[in-house]
Amino acid sequence: MWRFAGAGIDEGRRLIEAALDAGVTLFDTADIYGFDGSGGFGDAEALLGQVFAESPGLRDRMVLATKGGITPPVPYDSSPAYLAHALDASLARLGVDQVDLYQIHRPDLLTHPQEAARALEDAVTAGKVRAVGVSNYTPDQVRALAAVLTIPLASHQPEFSPLHLDPLVNGVFDQAMELDLAILAWSPLGGGRLGDPQDARGQAVATVLDRKAAESGASRAAVIYSWIMAHPARPIPIVGTQKVERIAELGQAHAIAWSRQDWYDVLVAARGERLP
């Protein structure tokens, strides 16, 4: 829901209904979504809250996730006082008493893990949050937080796509499988670069993807989502499109089967070199 703030209430409801019809159940937003550098902080949450007010039944059909901890103009704040304030503000904008998942959006280097843990635990104890997670953390930062939490971490939201492979090799996916964390992969299409590749690497990846798309009768985007979901960490692609016709393609991802050869062909193209 990063770009959701630009829609009106009717269009917003149409996008949500299209996603639900396509089988999407997780809706990921954040208080920073809508911020354009000078204003708009909270706009994506506020629009979603307006949609809920007009169509309250939609809330019950989704897993609702939001994030806090980015505080323009100061970058990050995960102190208990700030996160408590940020969560209450998010709930007010959304018009709900509870979210299903609350994640710290980016690690605050000035907050001790024990302080961040207390903020997350307090939110769950107060009934404002059902589960907690993090976003853009390193494995060591996840480990430090998990060690002092009395409740389990449920999720980690890193960037991952065929053009951003770091979680495969930096321990993020390995740790997710070790701790049974849900992976929410943001920017799965490479920030749009795989839709319209402008360099040799992107074009090489697109060529392999299009071969699979032709074989499976699916769109290139659906093939990418399927490739991401094929990893045993079971990543959940966070889709950012605001076009109903693109949302309708999402269900295709579940019908695509990957052989090891096909999956690794994409990885080799993405790496730009043979595997060792």
Cα distances (Å, whole numbers) of residue 223 to 15, 77, 157, 188:
21, 37, 21, 11
In CATH terms, the fold of domain 4-157 is: TIM Barrel (3.20.20)
> What tens digit of pLDDT does each residue of 116-137 get?
999 999 999 999 999 999 999 9
Q: Is pLDDT above 90 for 15?
A: yes
Q: Is pLDDT above 90 for 101?
A: yes
Give the model's pLDDT for residue 133: 98
Give the model's pLDDT for residue 161: 98
> What tens digit of pLDDT does each residue of 173-210 get?
999 999 999 999 999 999 989 999 999 999 999 999 99
* Residues with a known catalytic role: 33
Q: Is pLDDT above 90 for 7?
A: no
Tally of CB atoms within 10 A around 54? 11
pLDDT class of 150 with cuts at 50, 70, 90: very high
Q: What is the mean pLDDT of residues 59-70?
A: 98
Residues contacting residue 66 through CB under 8 Å, at least 6 positions apart: 28, 29, 30, 31, 45, 90, 94, 99, 101, 102, 103
Q: What are the tokens at 215?
A: 């074989």
pLDDT class of 156 with cuts at 50, 70, 90: very high
**Contact of 216 with 249, CB cutoff 8 Å:** no
pLDDT class of 5 with cuts at 50, 70, 90: confident
pLDDT class of 6 with cuts at 50, 70, 90: confident
Residues contacting residue 175 through CB under 8 Å, at least 6 positions apart: 139, 142, 143, 156, 181
Q: Where are the domains of the chain?
A: 4-157
Give the model's pLDDT for residue 21: 96
Q: What is the mean pLDDT of residues 83-88?
A: 98
pLDDT class of 110 with cuts at 50, 70, 90: very high
Per the prediction, the chain carries an average pLDDT of 96
pLDDT class of 99 with cuts at 50, 70, 90: very high
Q: What is the mean pLDDT of residues 25-42?
A: 96
Q: Is pLDDT above 90 for 32?
A: yes
**Contact of 101 with 131, CB cutoff 8 Å:** yes
**Contact of 147 with 139, CB cutoff 8 Å:** no
What is the percent of the chain with per-residue pLDDT over 90, rounded to a whole number?
A: 97
